[in-house]
Structure 1
Amino acid sequence: MKPLNYAILKHFTKVHEASVIDIMEALKGDYQSFKTFNKESIIDALLTAEANGLIEETRVDLDHNEELLIFYHANEESKATINGYIRD
């Protein structure tokens, strides 16, 4: 099994866009027992990936609790970079 941060990045190579909620839903089957599998840690991973140019913000919305929800995506160049470093 890949480290959680790798799984988060790989998720962006398979979807058009995703938010922290989408990622948690997609990865919970394999990663829900991980100590870092929580909203705050995943948001930190997303911000790090964005700062490193691997994903970019696409839009914002409000979740069911009226909290800000940020959506990200990986462009084709970023997907190629991610896939080049993290194999399936």
Structure 2
Amino acid sequence: MEGVEHRVIKVNGINMHVAEKGEGPLILFIHGFPELWYSWRHQIASLSSKGYRAVAPDLRGYGDTDVPDLVTSYTCFHIVGD
């Protein structure tokens, strides 16, 4: 998608992929299960063109974010903490 910046940030011991576009007030898009940042591509394009900074991470275990081996690494506390 044109103009979307992709980066990887270190958070809670994993590498998390984040897609972002635009500048201004932040809008954070959290995908459902099983999806990824790309689910929000139309909203990212629209809202970033209206003066917002749209940010959409791939949650742990999805897309280009690390996939921890232990099932205990996927509690709601881990996901919210990321």
**TM exceeding 0.5:** no
The normalised TM-score by structure 2 is 0.31
- Please state which structure has a larger fraction of its residues in strand: 2
TM-score by length of 1: 0.30
Which is greater in Rg?
A: 2
Report which of the two has the higher share of helix: 1
